[in-house]
Amino acid sequence: MTPECERKVPQTEKEPESKQDVKKQSVKLTKQNVLEKIKSIDSSAPNAAGEMSPTKLKKKKGLKLKYLIDETNNIDILHHKAYSKVECSSERCLGSLLKPGKTIASYDRSKEEKISQAIDFINQFYASVKRQGSKTHQERISEVIQSIRSKGTYELKETELCFGARTAWRNAPRCIGRIQWSRLQVFDARYVTTARGIFEALCNHLKYATNKGNIRSAITIFRQRTEQGHDYRIWNSQFISYAGYKMEDGSTIGDQSQLEFTEICIKLGWKAKHGEFDVLPLVLQANGLDPEWFDIPPELILEVNIVHPIYEKFKDLNLKWYCVPGVSSMLLDVGGIEFTACPFNGWYMGTEIGRDLADVNRYDKLGLIADTLGLDRKSNSSLWKDKALIELNHAILYSFQKNTITITDHHSAAESFMKHHQNETVLRGGCPGDWVWVVPPLSSHLTPDGAWKTHVWKQKSSNTENRRLKRRVYFSDIARAVKFSAKLMGKAMAKRIKCTILYATETGKSERFAKTLSDLFKHAFDPRILCMKDYDVVDLENETLLLMVTSTFGNGDPPENGREFKKILIDMQKERSLLNTSTDITNPDGLSNVRFSVFALGNSSYPKFCQFGKFLDDILNDIGAERVYDLGLGDELCGQEESFRKWSFGAFKSAFEYFCIDTDSSLLDILSNTDLDWSPQTIRLTIHDEKKFDLYESLHKLHERKIYPCKFVSKRNLQTVNSGRITLLVEISTTGYSSELQYKPGDHVGIFASNRKNLVDAILDKLSNAPPPDQMIKIEILKEKSSIFGAGKQWVVDDQYLPFTLRHAFTNLLDITSPLSQDMLKYLSSQVSADSDREKLEKLSQDHIAYEKWKLNGYPNLVEVLDEFPSLRPNASLLITKLPKLQPRFYSISSSPKQTDDINITVGLIEYTPVGKSTHYGVCSKWLDEMNLNDSVPMFVREAPSFRLPEDKTCPIIMVCAGTGLAPFRSFWQERKIDKEMLPNPNGINGVGWGKLILYFGCRQKNVDEIYRSEIDQMLKENVLSEYHPAYSREPNKKKFYVQDVMEKNGESLFDLICNKNGHFYVCGDVRMAADVTQTLEQQLVKHSNSKFTLQDAKDFLHSMKENLRFHEDIFGNNMSNNQSK
C-alpha cells in the first residue's frame, strides 16, 4: 500500500471526456487558433501553479477585510480567481482539516481540461517574463496543445517548472513564511528513474538546504505523473523524521505520529533501535515499482540539543530536534501536470518544534518539563502548562541561535507574513490565507496576523449610537471651502494640458527627480508619473507633452526598467524608416503632435556619459516628435541637482509659452521663489531635541533605499610582498539580513563608507556660524507659500535629512574628498575675508580652463581648499546643503551564495600622493583596510541582471578581465563548482555536458600581481575551469602583453566558441580595457569568418549578442581621474 499525499492543489472538477471526444480528430493548429486560445484565457489571473481560475471573469465586488489593530481595510479581489470552489463558506470553516478536499488525478482529466490549465499557466509564465503575445509565446502554446492532443500530456521547460514551483509556494494559503517565495531554489530531478536516484537527489537537497546551519529553502521535483500505477513517491511525510515505537505494555517511545510508518519501515527490513530520537529511513518508490528504503547518512542530519539559558537541569531532559523541516508528501500541480514526488523545505518557526515536543499525540513532554522546572501541576489554575510551553519555546530558540542555526520566532514570522500580505494586496489584489493555519499557535492575540475580520453589515437602523460622530461643520468653514473650490474649478475649466512624465532608474534618484518635476508641473498642467517599464507605448502617439528623466547604467546602457522601452523605440524607428522609403504619402507622421524634453543623469567619468538620455532625445526627434526644450545633462560629479533645477524650470517655462497658458501672477510668484540657491537668510541649522543619530535611517531617507548593518569579518591581501600594491579579499557577514541581501553571481554590493576622521576634524575647525559638532540639528528652508488667501513666507524642515550632528554629516552623509564644482567655488567666494582669496575663487568659478587646470593639479579635496584659501570660513549651512552626497561604492561580489554564507568582495587599495600635498586615499578601500572584526558595514545588494550566468549550462563561457576585474568571475567558478557537485551532468544522464569555463586574465607581473592564482590552479585541477590564459604587462625584460594580445593568439577558438557553439562572452574591468577587448574581438571575428564578416558585420553581430544577453559587460570608469576612488 502507498500513503496518500497530505495536501494537493485543488482543481476544478469536470466530467470525464466522452467517447465521442476521444474519437475526435485533433484540430489543425494555426496561428489564429493559438491566438484565440491565448485570448480565451485570462492571463492576469494569478495561479497557485494551477490553483487560480483560467476563466475570464466579470468584475465582482471585493471582500472587505478589516485589520483590527489599526482599523485599516483591505479589499480582496483575488479570491474571485480561485481555480476551484473554496471549501470554507460563511456557514462553516474547514481550515482545521488537514485534507479538506480531493482533486481529480491528471490521468483522469479530459484533454480539453488539460489544455485549458496548460494555456492558463503558459500565459502566466510569459506574462511574468514580459514576453506575452510574442512569437515564442505563440509557438509554445501551439507545441503544448499538439503534445496534449497526441500524447495526453506535455513536459514543462525548466524555467516554467521553476516559475510554477515558486508560484505554488506563493499561493500556499497555510504557509506563514511565503515572503521568501521568489528565492526558492528549484532542483530539477526529472531525469531520475530509480529509487536509488531519488535517494541521491534527496541527499544533495539535504546538503544544500542544511548549509552548515544557515538553512536555505529548496524543492526537488521528480518525474511527473503519467498513467495510473507509475507514480514516483516518497512515503515519508517528512524526509527527516523520528521513529515512534509502541511497546508491549502499551506505552510509546519516540514520535507517536510516526507509529504506523515506523511499523512499515520495520516490515520492509529496517532495524529498529527503539530510541527516542531515531531517524527513520527514506522509503522511496520509482515508476510504481515496489518501494525501497535507504538510511540517511548521519553526517547529513544536523541536530540541536535543546538547553535552556537559565534552567541548567533542562539539558538533563535530553531533548533534541533536527534542523531542516522537509515536507515530502505534498503533490505539486502545475499547468495540468502533477508531480507526486516534490520534497520541499523551509526553516523552522520555534513553535513548530515546541508543539512536536509538547503535544499529547506527539512526544507529550510537557509534564516532564514542568517537573524539571519545579512547577506545581496539581491544579490547572497554576497555569503550569502555559509556563512550561513558554520555557520550552524559549529553550528551542536559544538552542538554535546558540548554534547559529536558522530559526524564527512566531512574532517575527507573523510580522513578515503581514508584510507579504500587504505587498500581495498591492500587487495582486489579495493574498491567499488560511488564518487557522497562518496564525501561530502561541500568543496568537499578540501577533499581527490574528487581527483580521470580514465586515458584516447590520440592518440600516441598528446600533447608530456606536457609529463615529460626524464633526460639526460651521458656516465659516463652508465659506472658505467654497472659495477654494471655486478657484480650483476655474482652473479645471481651463482644460489643463495633460503631461506624462516617464523615468528609468537604477538607484531611485531619477524617480525622485520625476516626482519633483511633477510637483512643479502641477501648477499649470495635469501630470502623471510612470516608470518606463509600466508605460503602454500604444499611448505614445496620443501624448501631448512627454517629459523623461533617466539615468545611464554601465557603458551607455539603459537602466533595467528602461530596456524594453528602448527596444520599442528602435522598432518604431525602423518602421518609420520603411515608411519613408515608400511612395505612399498617405501615411501621416504618428508622433507629429508629441512635444518632449529629456533630462539625463550620468557620471562624466564614463566615456558614454548620459548615453541613454541622449539616445532618447535623438530617437524621439528622429521618429517625428518635436523637442519643446533642449536636452538637460546632470553630472553626478558636478552639480547634478542644480542642473536638474535649471532644466526643470526651463522646460516648464518653455511648455508654458508653447501651449499658450494664461499667465497667473500667483503662479509666477511661486516659480520665482522655488530657487533653492543658498543664502544665510533662506537656509538655517536649528537645534533638534532628537537624542541619537540613526545612521541607517538617515542613509535610507537620503538615498531612498534600504541599507543593512552587516559585519566586517576578515581581510586578506591577495598581492605578494614584492608587489608594492594591495588588493584585499574582504569577507562581510550578512547574518540577520541574509534574506534581504540575497544575490546571484555577477551582482554588486553598494557600501557606504565613512570619511577619514582627520579630514572631518579639519573641516569642523574652520566652520563659521556652526552649532557644536555633536549637537543634534535639522535643516530649515524659508519658502514662499502661496494659496487663495494670499502669499507668505514660512520656515519648512528639509525632509531629505533626518536629524543629525555636524560630525555625522561630514563623516557619513557628505562627499568631502571630490574636487569642488565651479558652482561650489562661487558660493565659497562669498565666505572669505581676504580680497586675494576672493579674486582667485571667483576666477576659478568663472574660467573653465583655469578651473580644469587647478582641478588636475592634485585633485584637491575640501580640506585642501580650506588650506589653500586661509581666510575662508564657510557657513556650516552652506556646506551641509550644497556639498554632494557621499555616494555608495560598488563592488562586484566575489563569492557564490552556494559556497559561503558571507559576501566576499575584491578591493584594490587606492592611494596616491599629489606633488606637494598629503597622500590621498580611496574613501572606501582605505576604510575597509582599517576595519576591525565585527565593525558595522552599511551595505545593500544591487542586481546586475545583464551579467548573469547563462540558464543553459551547456553553453561555453569566455571571461575576460584585468586586475580586480577578476572579482565577479570568482563567484562564477564557485557557483559552477557547487553546481557540478550537485549535478554532474546539467541535462540529465544522457544530456550534453557542462559548457567550458575559460578565463583570460591580465595583470602586471606573474607570481606578483596574479591574484587568486592558487584558487585558479585548484579550479583547473578539478576541471571547473577549462582553460586559463594569463597576460603580463610588466614582466622584466619582456614585451608588454595584454589580454587583447592573448585573445588574438586564440582568435580561431574564440570565433568557434562564439559563432558555432552559442558561447557567452563576459568582460569586466576599466572602460578603456573593455573597449580594446571589444575591438579585438571584432577583428578576430572578421579574420576567422572566411570573409563572411566585414567589420560592420562583426559590430552588428556583437550588438545582437548584447541584445540577446550573450555579450555581457561589467565596466567602470577611471576613478582616479575624478577622485571617485573605491
Tens digits of residue pLDDT in 130-180: 778 888 899 999 999 999 999 999 999 988 998 899 989 888 888 888 888
Beta strand extents in 492-562 (DSSP E only): 497-504, 525-531, 545-551
Please list, residue by residue across 668-692, b when 16 or more beta carbons sit within 10 angstroms of its beta carbon and e when fewer do. eebbebbeeebeeebbbbeebeeee
Residue by residue, DSSP assigns 1029-1054 as EEEESS-TTS----HHHHHHHTHHHH
Residue 579's pLDDT is: 57
Residue 491's pLDDT is: 45
Catalytic positions are 175, 178, 347, 352
* pLDDT over threshold 90, residue 996: yes
Q: Which residues contact 1125 (CB under 8 A, 6 or more apart)?
A: 910, 920, 921, 922, 923, 924, 925, 1119
257 burial level (CB within 10 Å; 0-12, 13-18, 19+): middle
Please write the tens of the pLDDT for every residue from 589-641: 557 778 999 999 988 767 678 999 999 999 999 988 889 999 999 987 666 77
Q: Give 622's Cβ-side CA count (13 Å radius).
A: 15
* pLDDT over threshold 90, residue 561: no
Rounded (10°) CA dihedral 925, 926, 932, 933 = 0
Residue 832's pLDDT is: 95
Residue 440's pLDDT is: 75
Q: Where in the chain is the domain with CATH 3.40.50.360?
A: 496-579+589-674
Distances 812 to 444, 636, 699, 754 between C-alpha atoms, Å: 42, 18, 9, 5
* pLDDT over threshold 80, residue 18: no
Residue 80's pLDDT is: 61
DSSP 64: E
Give the model's confidence band at 89: pLDDT under 50 very low, under 70 low, under 90 confident, else very high: low
Question: What average pLDDT does range 754-778 have in this prediction?
Answer: 95
Annotated binding site for heme b: 175
Q: Rounded distance, CA 871 to CA 838, Å? A: 9
Query: Cell for 380?
Result: 490547572
DSSP 108: G
Please write the tens of the pLDDT for every residue from 1064-1103: 999 999 888 988 999 999 999 999 999 889 999 999 999 8
Distances 435 to 67, 169, 177 between C-alpha atoms, Å: 13, 16, 13
Q: Where in the chain is the domain with CATH 1.20.990?
A: 683-807+828-847+869-889
Q: What are the φ/ψ torsions at residue 497 (nearest 5 degrees)?
A: -75, 135
Percent of the chain with pLDDT over 70: 80
Whether 1052 and 946 have beta carbons less than 8 Å apart is answered as no
Pairing assessment for the beta strands 1064-1070 and 1027-1032 based on DSSP bridges: unpaired
Please list, residue by residue across 524-538, b when 16 or more beta carbons sit within 10 angstroms of its beta carbon and e when fewer do. bbebebebbeebeee
Q: What are the φ/ψ torsions at residue 454 (nearest 5 degrees)?
A: -85, 130
Residue 1012's pLDDT is: 96
Residue 559 backbone zone (phi > 0: left; psi -120 to 50: alpha; other: beta) = beta
Residue 495's pLDDT is: 52
Q: Where in the chain is the domain with CATH 3.40.50.80?
A: 957-1116
Q: How many CB atoms lie within 10 A of CB 426?
A: 10
Q: Rounded distance, CA 909 to CA 253, Å? A: 61
Q: Report how far Cα 412 is from the mean position of its chain's Cα atoms.
A: 21
Alpha helices in 632-780 (DSSP H): 640-658, 665-672, 695-703, 757-764
Specify the 3-state DSSP secondary structure of 782.
strand
Q: Rounded distance, CA 473 to CA 165, Å? A: 56
Lowest mean pLDDT among 55-69, 514-528, 811-825: 55-69
Residue 78's pLDDT is: 66
Q: Give 821's Cβ-side CA count (13 Å radius).
A: 19
What is the CATH code for 496-579+589-674?
3.40.50.360
What is the CATH code for 957-1116?
3.40.50.80
Residue by residue, DSSP assigns 636-676 as TTB-HHHHHHHHHHHHHHHHHHHTTPPP-HHHHHHHHT---
* pLDDT over threshold 70, residue 648: yes
Residue 599's pLDDT is: 97
Question: What average pLDDT does range 1004-1032 have in this prediction?
Answer: 95
Give domain 683-807+828-847+869-889's CATH number out of 1.25.40, 1.10.1470, 2.40.128, 1.20.990.
1.20.990
Give the model's confidence band at 40: pLDDT under 50 very low, under 70 low, under 90 confident, else very high: very low
741 compared with 427, residue with greater pLDDT = 741
Give the model's confidence band at 990: pLDDT under 50 very low, under 70 low, under 90 confident, else very high: low
Which residue pairs, CB below 8 angstroms and at least 24 apart, start in 568-575?
568/537, 569/616, 569/619, 569/620, 569/623, 570/619, 572/537, 572/540, 572/623, 573/619, 573/622, 573/623
Residue 510's pLDDT is: 87
Q: Rounded distance, CA 79 to CA 90, Å? A: 14
Mean pLDDT of the chain: 83
Which of 900, 647, 665, 631 has its CA nearest to residue 788?
665
* pLDDT over threshold 50, residue 19: no
* pLDDT over threshold 80, residue 796: yes
Q: Rounded distance, CA 579 to CA 622, Å? A: 13
Whether 748 and 660 have beta carbons less than 8 Å apart is answered as no
Which of 308, 306, 321 has its CA nearest to residue 373?
308
Distances 31 to 34, 103, 135, 155, 373 between C-alpha atoms, Å: 5, 33, 10, 21, 73
* pLDDT over threshold 90, residue 546: yes
Residue 416's pLDDT is: 79
Pairing assessment for the beta strands 252-254 and 997-1003 based on DSSP bridges: unpaired
Which amino acid appears at position 510 of this protein? S
Which amino acid appears at position 1054 of this protein? L
Lowest mean pLDDT among 97-111, 343-357, 534-548, 1011-1025: 97-111
Pairing assessment for the beta strands 326-327 and 632-635 based on DSSP bridges: unpaired
* pLDDT over threshold 50, residue 1063: yes
Q: Rounded distance, CA 162 to CA 390, Å? A: 39
Q: Rounded distance, CA 959 to CA 243, Å? A: 51
**Rg, the chain, Cα only:** 33
Please write the tens of the pLDDT for every residue from 259-298: 999 999 999 999 999 999 999 999 999 998 999 999 999 9
Lowest mean pLDDT among 554-563, 753-762, 792-801, 1018-1027: 554-563
Question: What average pLDDT does range 932-949 have in this prediction?
Answer: 93
Question: What average pLDDT does range 829-839 have in this prediction?
Answer: 95
Q: Which residues contact 583 (CB under 8 A, 6 or more apart)?
A: none
Residue 325's pLDDT is: 95
Give the model's confidence band at 53: pLDDT under 50 very low, under 70 low, under 90 confident, else very high: very low
Residue 489's pLDDT is: 46
DSSP 1057: I
Residue 25's pLDDT is: 37
Whether 78 and 429 have beta carbons less than 8 Å apart is answered as yes
Q: Rounded distance, CA 167 to CA 51, Å? A: 10
Q: Give 155's Cβ-side CA count (13 Å radius).
A: 8
Specify the 3-state DSSP secondary structure of 469.
coil
> Across 116-130, 638-652, 658-672, 1112-1126, which has the greatest mean pLDDT?
116-130
Question: What average pLDDT does range 6-19 have in this prediction?
Answer: 35
